[in-house]
Amino acid sequence: RRGLCGAAGPPSTRQLREAEEAAPVFQYAGKAARRKDRVFVWGFSYSGALGVPSFVRPDEGWKKPRRIQATPYRLETEEKISSAACGYGFTLLASKTRDITKVWGMGLNKDSQLGFQRSRRDQTKGYEYVLEPSPIPLPLEKPQQTRVLQVSCGRAHSLVLTDSEGVFTMGNNSYGQCGRKVVEDEIYSGSHLIHQLKEFDSRVVQVVCGQDHSLFRTKKGTVYACGWGADGQTGLGHYNITSVPTKLHGDIAGVNIIQVSSYGDCCLAVSDEGDVFGWGNSEYLQLASVTETTQVNVPRHLPFKIGKVKEAACGGTGNVVLTEEGNVFVWGYGILGKGPNLIETAVPEMIPPSLFGQSDFSPDIRVAHVRCGLSQFAALTNRGELFVWGKNLRGCLGTGRMEDQYFPWRVTVPGEVVDVACGVDHMVSMVRSFT
Partner 1 sequence: LNAAPGRAPRQQVRFLPTPSPGGGGAVELVAARVPVLADHPLVRGPRFKKLKIGAGHRLDVKASGVFVLGIGHGNKLLTDLHNCHLTKVYTVGGLFGKATDDFSDTGNLVEKTTFDHITREKLERILAVIQGTNQKALLMYSNIDMKTQEAYELAVKGLIRPVGKSPPIITAVRCLQFALPEFQLEIHCLHETQQYLRKMVHEIGLELKSSAVCTQVRRTRDGVFTVDDALPRTQWNLQSIQEAIRNCQLKVETELEKTLG
Site of interaction with partner 1 (CB under 8 A): 19-20, 23-31, 33, 338-341, 352, 354-355, 357, 359, 361-362, 383-385, 403-407, 409-410, 412, 414, 416, 434-435
Give the DSSP letter string of 298-344.
Answer: EEEEE---S--EEEEEE-SSEEEEEETTS-EEEEEES--SS-TT--E
Which of 152, 29, 27 has its CA nearest to residue 87? 152
Q: Note whether 320 and 313 are within 8 A (CB).
A: yes
How many other β-carbons are positioned within 10 Å of the β-carbon of residue 272? 12
Which of 361, 353, 293 has its CA nearest to residue 322? 353
CB nearer partner 1, residue 46 or residue 407: 407
CB nearer partner 1, residue 254 or residue 340: 340
- d(CA 378, CA 388) in angstroms, rounded, equals 4
58 CB-side CA count, 13 A:
8
CB nearer partner 1, residue 145 or residue 412: 412
Q: Note whether 386 and 42 are within 8 A (CB).
A: no
Q: Note whether 393 and 375 are within 8 A (CB).
A: yes
Q: Note whether 387 and 411 are within 8 A (CB).
A: yes
**Closest distance between partner 1 and the C-beta of residue 31, in Å?**
5
CB nearer partner 1, residue 283 or residue 349: 349
**Closest distance between partner 1 and the C-beta of residue 16, in Å?**
8
CB nearer partner 1, residue 28 or residue 62: 28
Per DSSP, the three-state class of 394 is helix
Per DSSP, the three-state class of 288 is coil
**Closest distance between partner 1 and the C-beta of residue 224, in Å?**
41
Sheet of 195-197: strand order equals 148-153, 157-162, 167-171, 195-197
Per DSSP, the three-state class of 423 is coil
CB nearer partner 1, residue 35 or residue 181: 35
CB nearer partner 1, residue 12 or residue 341: 341
Q: Note whether 419 and 376 are within 8 A (CB).
A: no
CB nearer partner 1, residue 122 or residue 364: 364
Rounded to a whole number of angstroms, the distance between the first and last alpha carbons of the chain is 60
**Closest distance between partner 1 and the C-beta of residue 382, in Å?**
10
Distance of CA 184 to the CA centre of its chain: 32
**Closest distance between partner 1 and the C-beta of residue 32, in Å?**
8
Q: What is the largest CA-CA distance in the chain?
A: 111
Q: CA dist 359 to 111, 322, 412, Å?
A: 48, 19, 20
Give the DSSP letter string of 160-179.
Answer: EEESSS-EEEEE--TTSTTS
**Closest distance between partner 1 and the C-beta of residue 402, in Å?**
12
User: Whats the size of the chain, residue-wise?
Assistant: 435
CB nearer partner 1, residue 123 or residue 435: 435
Per DSSP, the three-state class of 131 is strand
**Closest distance between partner 1 and the C-beta of residue 357, in Å?**
7
CB nearer partner 1, residue 46 or residue 406: 406
CB nearer partner 1, residue 3 or residue 24: 24
Which of 174, 194, 185 has its CA nearest to residue 105? 194
Per DSSP, the three-state class of 198 is coil
